[in-house]
Structure 1
């Protein structure tokens, strides 16, 4: 069975506290917590609590939340490591899908490992 979900990450930039769904909680000495570090965002750690929708429109009704963190872990290229859960509590879906792994952000198609699930997604 194939499931297609979208999660919408709006990083805090110092001016959008009301709409932000993620925030930089750690940064390298040359970075700060309102702008991602350069080059390649290396050393930034971001936490998030993003809405999940069934289409790419941010204004669509959320069916759950994506909650977790990602960190930028390479100096040479833009890449990140993610650890997060899709948390569903709707009439359609209940439970979690848990993800962990490296994300080669520059690739057109990317995969993250599903490492577990609960409720409707129990493995």
Structure 2
């Protein structure tokens, strides 16, 4: 009988006292009115830069992390410089950091998952996140911008990519990006 009463008392304590203590100590979540969360003035920003994907040499900016026997599934980690001109020595405005993987068995299509981290000018410290399908043999490829941080908080938009230069011997490439975002 004593163990039954002890069980009841412990159960009541757990059911009544602990939830009251937890709710008094803080809030897990809070709902905001749409006007509190969404900026009242939205901006459209258009960005233009060049992506230098260097897989050869002593200091590659893209390295294979998965290299299967056939090309399907090949995955590379990237930390590619983004510049204002096609020349590698031109002003670096940021880095493309993430990965790409050959995700199609039937054509040359990559899965792109990358953050565009800006390191120069008024966008320094801000980022855009791009994720999507990149059919590398198409003249122009469109990928979604799915988010951002800093100046680009709540960003959404698209990135258009076209290859400016590709070296089939080394695999190195320069890709022009035109990015349009609403933020």
The one of 52, 56, 77 equivalent to 2:86 is: 56
Paired position in structure 2 for 1:113: 144
User: Is residue 62 of structure 2 the alignment partner of residue 22 of structure 1?
Assistant: yes
Q: TM-score, normalised by structure 1?
A: 0.82
Question: Per-residue deviation at 1:102?
Answer: 0.7
SS in 2 for 1:8: strand
Aligned length: 109
Question: Per-residue deviation at 1:25?
Answer: 0.3
Distance 1:49 1:113 in 2: 20
Paired position in structure 2 for 1:103: 134
- The correspondence of residues 35-50 of structure 1 with structure 2, limited to 5 A, is 37=70, 41-50=71-80
Q: Contact 2:85–2:91 (CA<8 Å) still a contact in 1?
A: no
Runs of at least 4 residues off by over 6 Å: none
Distance 1:120 1:52 in 2: 18
Stretches of structure 1 lacking an aligned partner (at least 5 in a row)? 31-36
The structure in which a higher percent of residues are strand is: 2
The structure in which a higher percent of residues are helix is: 2
Distance 2:74 2:95 in 1: 22
Residue by residue, what CA displacement relative to the aligned partner does 1:42-71 show, whole Å, maximum 9, x if unpaired? 110000001111122211021111100000
